[in-house]
Structure 1
């Protein structure tokens, strides 16, 4: 039996919300396309689109374009994927979010012993430190710090980093991210972080630390990202025992700096670029 046609905006909105509720869609789950939803409740795509505009403004759904696009259940949180190194601005655009990037720090400094070990550079080498604040839909969302060897990237401090960091590295230096190791923890905002992120001291944050490797398996970036926990949902994907990974060649690679090197336990194979 075909669905009973609905006509008023309120009826369409009620029908869509009932569909989400009765099907038990969780935030981030795909509900369907505009065409599928209009057919399901017996109305036109134009009217469904008008109601989806309202629901999106209320953070009850979000829409995305492309091959994996459609209408998704939502609660206003921003989706952060761990299984991709696609740029943060690109991920936000896919979720229909507007993003502004503010440069907090951009300078050359002396590398710490930790940075020397993990970037495989000599003691006393210089590093480029970049700190950026992401503001999403007019509200602070994340504080992202990146550290890279200055000798490898001449004049690195002269570029525009309000867009994609990895885009700059590929365009100007031919460096592409091949693998990345990330760890995730819960953190709590200190005074400086709270001021930048617009939260109170002690506010819960999602902390992600990353080491990125190029196609030659050389580390080129250390990253320390903080996301507001009240605005973020983290997604990851696990693989079974038959997942084929390339051999870990890091243990065989010569340590040019002579610093003791702690081997990563697992490399995440990304699909695109981050930054």
Structure 2
């Protein structure tokens, strides 16, 4: 996938979840260049695609604005986003790879203001806090820090964490996982992360910060996943 296509995908998600509501102004081209660390040509190409799809309009001298969609119109996630929402275990199982999870933390706590805002809940509500490492064919690939509202994902057990939480949410609770808003960046591991992933503290990780949504728009997950061993997810860093 080209860089401009990734930006289109990201901005479409922002529009779909209301980060940029109807008639709101998008960041300037210069701001988007800085945000996505790409050239003006790339940003303009992404904006052209969104304009062709009828999602935005431009006003000379004023900026770029989000169009008000006709009633009943939905912005559907791209095939790539839908596929990525299958979950880590399903993704690798489809390739015939064995996946195991090593759980380090499974607690119930009240969320910080940042996490509460991401999940659109109160700081007085309760969330699960989960820390686990996912192993593929015995090799530690990713460390995940996950927060889920208990009100939306009740009765979560250790057995679910050791296998697939997404499968539990869809098959047992009956919720439909729809899409996600992601921010991708490169980070360096902490000593603890390096130890758990069996890498050096000098080896960079690909961090994926994600808010996952079910089909009615409610957030069911806030997570930070840090991927090692040359994991490929996107080709640009987003801040």
Task: Normalising by structure 2, report the TM-score.
Answer: 0.60
Q: Determine the structure 2 residue equivalent to 1:130.
A: 130
Equivalent residue for 1:140? 140
Aligned 1:9-24 pairs, distance under 5 A: none
Q: Offset at 1:174?
A: 1.9
Q: Distance in 2 between matches of 1:185 and 1:137?
A: 26
Distance 2:94 2:105 in 1: 27
8 Å contact kept, 1:108–1:157: no
Alpha carbons of structure 1 residues 170 and 187: separation in structure 2 relative to 1, 3 Å: same
For residues 1-275 of structure 1, what are the structure 2 equivalents within 5 Å?
84-157=84-157, 159-228=159-228, 230-234=229-233
Moved segments of 4+, more than 6 Å: none
CA deviation profile, 1:31-74 (whole Å, cap 9, x unmatched): xxxxxxxxxxxxxxxxxxxxxxxxxxxxxxxxxxxxxxxxxxxx
Shift of the 103–115 alpha-carbon distance from structure 1 to 2, 3 Å rule, reads same
- Kept after mapping to 2: 8 A contact 1:166/1:176: no
Give TM-score scaled by structure 1 length.
Answer: 0.52
Q: What is the CA-CA distance between 1:137 and the residue it aligns to?
A: 2.1
Contact 1:141–1:231 (CA<8 Å) still a contact in 2?
no
- For residues 157 and 127 of structure 2, the distance between their equivalents in structure 1, rounded to whole angstroms, comes to 10
Deviation, structure 1 residue 157 = 4.0
Task: Please give the secondary structure, in 2, of the residue aligned with 1:118.
Answer: helix
Structure 1, unaligned runs of 5 or more: 1-80, 237-275
Q: CA deviation at 1:235?
A: 5.2
Structure ranking higher in helix proportion: 2
Q: Which protein is bigger by CA-based radius of gyration? A: 1
Indicate if the aligned counterparts of 1:119 and 1:219 stay in contact, CA closer than 8 A: yes
Superposed CA offset, 1:209-229 (max 9, x none): 11111111111110110100x
Contact between 1:159 and 1:168, CA under 8 Å: does it hold in 2? Answer: no
Distance 1:235 1:122, change over 3 A: closer
